């Protein structure tokens, strides 16, 4: 059992280091670990005579460095005690004698213990392989090019540990300077397997020994023949990470189902007084048309907004699914005990006044009560939540009832309000809007687990400032992404943003580079900003999934064609090389000076029939997978005529079972705004006055399709 043996060797070593009260391992200790895990480091042996030196060198098999070992000689080079690049028995023997002779000449009393024979590191590309313990994601492996230039440019990539062989290999292509490893200017490509192997072994090491906080192979010298770590550095963690309470998938789904599809809701702190949160919440539940039971709870009233009020939740007859709290923070804990006694599985904690306000103990107390009594907590410090398909508006904001496919969540209340306003003005179809606030208990991974199953939800968009448990999130995202897109707006991307996040939630800001790589690895679409998150959320459920990479631009405005082409490249999409037969077909419909190719430039003065004919061609040809339309407002083809014909043709093909994503940029006078709304409502994602947005949204759809494995690309790397 080699594996057991290596674990034992490293265990013994680490226990020894711990016993000495050290956290950093010495170089020889590092070498023991490297040998145990098969991490290639330069061979190194002490030769006591020339025969031993020759034998050592023969074992290493290449040129060696030979160095005098003497406690009396500090400056080996001055003593002529170092020879570099010796190869072959004769030369090794000669070098041995020469070094000893030099040393004796230098100091004839020096005690000579022998000659250290080291493998000579080859000339090669320097890379870095390592592992760190991220506060959000735990063990993370890192890979980058070495050297001072890369240090400045921070060209490094991260993955959750443990990685498998494919993931390790994928890291080599995830750095900006990946091309270097494939060989440039006639250089031979390096041994990629050997690097991946180093990554794998480091990943295994930190997985086996979670107490190892950091491993650094820096530099690893890599050539066409292999990879050798010139140095290994290992640092132990100060203390073991605390275990986080987890719930099974079934537990999560069971309580979430009752939260999002409740039959009976209690409002604790319901009030008749206008302007009070307990009044708004109750009114919104009623006005939102919740068809189940709504029970106001308030010991000081018999009747609130025409409903019988109960002094305590324990007085409510029958089962209750959700208790919404609209009471001041200090009252939450005792009332939560009553919720537990009533066996209500969900508490929605609207009040602020907990960790975010410098009262972490108050928050710890309610968390403890929730865990003890089996109540899941949403919040505290939230606006509440909406579950539109079930007519739940359990929030102090105004009701929202445009049912649709996107579930939106936000950590911050302000962002939640922006979500609501944007959704309302754009008529975004929503399945749920959920405030997460302090995330004392329920967080993004619980919600992902639920929305992944919820048949009404086709896309999930989340604003977050931190993740309480990065691994649980990744696991939930990986389970969800093959089914539906997950969009994440991670606030606190920059140092300034992260500092603001720290002051806001007390959350430790993760390094954004780690977030970025690991969210990608989880298949999540990261939105660069709030507006993009909202636009992706609105568009992704509307757009069909592309079946391949070939994007075709059809434009009436050459100028839009150029900008749309820029946007296609910016978003990592591929302009299709139009095959000659299709080119000929397009040319039949466009003036001789129009430009076929891609963009297909039908020119500005064309009638509706030209738009229609060319869009039909694009939809009908199975080699075309997505259309980007550039419309130019003219008298010949007014905006609503373009919108009508486009929507009609797209609908006709949809009925014939041909669904391709179609996005449009409309350049024109204000009528194009109405045309865009018309198109959007009919499944064509259209924007006025921008060539960037329609393509960005198509790009997001493609990113998801790739992450979901629907384009043969697998998870993005």
**Binding to a copy of itself, residues 607-646 (CB under 8 A):** 630, 632-633, 635
Residue whose CB is less far from a copy of itself, 344 or 551: 551
306 near a copy of itself (CB under 8 A): no
Query: Of 541, 561, 618, 661, which lies in the binding site for a copy of itself, with binding defined by CB under 8 A?
Result: 561
Query: Shortest gap between Cβ of 67 and a copy of itself (angstroms)?
Result: 23
**Binding to a copy of itself, residues 676-705 (CB under 8 A):** 688-693
494 near a copy of itself (CB under 8 A): yes
- For a copy of itself, which stretch binds (CB under 8 A), given 7-15, 201-209, 492-500, 616-624? 492-500
Spatial neighbors of 547 by CB under 8 A, at least 6 apart, are: 625, 660, 711
Q: What CA–CA distance (Å, rounded) separates 545 from 542?
A: 10
Compute φ and ψ for 322, nearest 5 degrees. Answer: -140, 135
Asked if the bond preceding 380 is cis, omega within 30° of 0, the reply is yes
**Binding to a copy of itself, residues 393-422 (CB under 8 A):** 396-398, 410-415, 417-418, 420-422
**Binding to a copy of itself, residues 12-71 (CB under 8 A):** none
492 near a copy of itself (CB under 8 A): yes
**Binding to a copy of itself, residues 276-305 (CB under 8 A):** 280
Query: Shortest gap between Cβ of 629 and a copy of itself (angstroms)?
Result: 12
**Binding to a copy of itself, residues 450-479 (CB under 8 A):** 463, 465
Query: Shortest gap between Cβ of 256 and a copy of itself (angstroms)?
Result: 23
Burial class (CB in 10 A: 0-12, 13-18, 19+), 597: middle
Question: Look-up: residue for tokens 């839009």?
Answer: 560
**Binding to a copy of itself, residues 235-274 (CB under 8 A):** none
Query: Shortest gap between Cβ of 374 and a copy of itself (angstroms)?
Result: 30
How many residues does this entry show for the chain? 717
- For a copy of itself, which stretch binds (CB under 8 A), given 37-45, 539-547, 597-605, 616-624? 597-605
493 near a copy of itself (CB under 8 A): yes
One-letter-per-residue 3-state SS of 425-462? HHCCCEEEEEECCCCCCCCHHHHHHHHHHCCCCCEEEE
Going across the sheet that includes 376-378, the strands are 293-297, 264-268, 322-325, 346-349, 376-378
572 near a copy of itself (CB under 8 A): no
Query: Of 38, 289, 529, 622, which lies in the binding site for a copy of itself, with binding defined by CB under 8 A?
Result: 529
Query: Shortest gap between Cβ of 609 and a copy of itself (angstroms)?
Result: 17
The site map against a copy of itself for 186-225 (x = CB under 8 A) is -x--------------------------------------
Residue 461: strand pairing partners: 408, 487
Compute φ and ψ for 301, nearest 5 degrees. Answer: -140, 150
What is each CA distance from 574 to 145, 340, 351, 637, 678, in whole angstroms?
A: 28, 56, 49, 29, 28
- For a copy of itself, which stretch binds (CB under 8 A), given 235-243, 250-258, 617-625, 665-673? 665-673
Residue 685: strand pairing partners: 663
Question: Cα torsion at 144, 148, 154, 158 (round to 10°)?
Answer: 20
What is each CA distance from 194 to 168, 201, 280, in whole angstroms?
A: 10, 11, 63
**Binding to a copy of itself, residues 82-121 (CB under 8 A):** none
Residue 118: strand pairing partners: 44, 65
- For a copy of itself, which stretch binds (CB under 8 A), given 20-28, 70-78, 494-502, 646-654? 494-502
Q: What CA–CA distance (Å, rounded) separates 582 from 580?
A: 5
**Binding to a copy of itself, residues 364-393 (CB under 8 A):** none
Q: Which of 318, 316, 323, 329 is nearest to 267 (CA)?
A: 323
**Segment holding 408, helix H or strand E:** strand 403-410
Query: Of 311, 334, 358, 714, which lies in the binding site for a copy of itself, with binding defined by CB under 8 A?
Result: 358
Query: Of 27, 368, 495, 508, which lies in the binding site for a copy of itself, with binding defined by CB under 8 A?
Result: 495
């Amino acid at each position: 059992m080699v594996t057991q043996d290596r674990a034992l060797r490293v265990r013994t070593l680490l226990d020894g280091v711990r016993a000495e009260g050290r956290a950093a391992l010495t170089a020889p200790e590092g070498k023991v670990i490297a040998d145990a895990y098969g991490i290639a480091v330069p061979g190194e042996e002490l030769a006591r005579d020339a025969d031993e030196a020759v034998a050592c060198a023969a074992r290493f098999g290449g040129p060696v460095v030979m160095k005098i070992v003497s406690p009396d000689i500090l400056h080996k080079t001055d003593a002529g005690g170092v020879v570099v690049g010796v190869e072959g028995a004769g030369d090794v023997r000669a070098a041995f004698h020469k070094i000893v002779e030099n040393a004796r000449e230098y100091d004839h009393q020096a005690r000579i213990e022998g000659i250290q024979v080291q493998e000579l590191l080859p000339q090669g590309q320097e890379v870095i392989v390592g592992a760190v313990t991220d506060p959000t994601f735990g063990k993370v492996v890192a890979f980058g090019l070495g050297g001072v230039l890369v240090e400045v440019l921070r060209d490094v990539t991260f993955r959750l540990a443990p990685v498998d062989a494919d993931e390790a290999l994928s890291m080599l292509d995830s750095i900006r300077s990946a091309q270097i490893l494939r060989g440039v200017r006639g250089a031979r490509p390096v041994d990629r397997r050997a690097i991946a192997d180093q990554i794998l072994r480091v990943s295994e090491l930190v997985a086996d020994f979670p107490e190892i906080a950091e491993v650094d192979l820096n530099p690893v010298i890599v050539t066409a023949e292999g990879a050798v770590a010139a140095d290994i550095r290992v640092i132990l963690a100060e203390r073991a990470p605390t275990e986080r309470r987890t719930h099974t998938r079934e537990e999560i789904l069971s309580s979430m189902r009752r939260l999002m599809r409740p039959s009976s809701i209690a409002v604790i702190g319901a009030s008749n007084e206008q302007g009070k949160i307990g009044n708004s919440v109750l009114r919104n539940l009623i006005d939102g048309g919740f068809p189940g039971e709504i029970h106001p709870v308030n010991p000081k009233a018999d009747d609130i907004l025409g409903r019988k009020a109960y002094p305590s939740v324990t007085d409510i007859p029958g089962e209750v699914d959700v208790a919404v709290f609209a009471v001041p923070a200090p009252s939450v804990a005792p009332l939560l005990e009553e919720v537990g006694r009533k066996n209500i599985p969900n508490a929605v904690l609207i009040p602020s006044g907990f960790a975010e306000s410098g009262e972490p103990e108050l928050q710890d107390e309610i968390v403890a009560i929730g865990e003890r009594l089996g109540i899941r907590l949403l919040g505290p410090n939230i606006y509440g939540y909406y579950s539109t398909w079930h007519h739940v508006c359990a929030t102090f904001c105004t009701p929202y009832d445009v049912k649709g496919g996107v579930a939106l969540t936000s950590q911050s209340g302000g962002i939640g309000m922006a979500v609501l306003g944007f959704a309302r003005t754009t008529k975004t179809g929503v399945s749920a809007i959920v405030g997460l606030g302090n995330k004392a208990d329920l967080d993004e991974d619980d919600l992902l687990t639920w929305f992944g199953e919820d048949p009404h939800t086709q896309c999930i968009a989340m604003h977050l400032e931190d993740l309480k448990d990065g691994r649980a999130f990744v696991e939930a995202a990986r389970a969800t992404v093959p089914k539906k897109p997950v969009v994440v707006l991670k606030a606190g991307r920059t140092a300034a943003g992260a500092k603001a996040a720290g002051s806001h939630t007390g959350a430790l800001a993760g390094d954004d580079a780690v977030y970025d790589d690991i969210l990608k690895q989880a298949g999540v679409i990261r939105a660069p900003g709030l507006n993009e998150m909202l636009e992706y959320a609105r568009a992704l459920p509307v757009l069909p999934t592309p079946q391949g990479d070939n994007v075709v631009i059809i434009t009436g405005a050459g100028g839009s064609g150029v900008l749309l082409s820029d946007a296609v490249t910016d978003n990592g999409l591929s302009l299709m090389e139009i095959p000659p037969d299709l080119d000929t077909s397009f040319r039949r419909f466009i003036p001789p000076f129009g430009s076929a190719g891609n963009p297909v430039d039908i020119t500005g003065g064309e009638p509706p029939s030209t738009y229609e004919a060319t869009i039909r061609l694009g939809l009908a040809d199975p080699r075309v997978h997505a259309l980007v339309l550039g419309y130019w407002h003219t008298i010949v083809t007014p905006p609503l005529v373009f919108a009508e014909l486009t929507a009609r043709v797209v609908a006709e093909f949809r009925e014939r079972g041909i669904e391709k994503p179609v996005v449009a940029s409309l350049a024109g006078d204000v009528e194009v705004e109405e045309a865009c709304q018309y198109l959007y409502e009919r499944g064509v994602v259209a924007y006025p006055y921008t060539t960037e947005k329609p393509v960005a949204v198509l790009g997001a759809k493609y990113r998801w399709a790739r992450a979901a494995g629907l384009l043969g690309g697998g998870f993005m790397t």
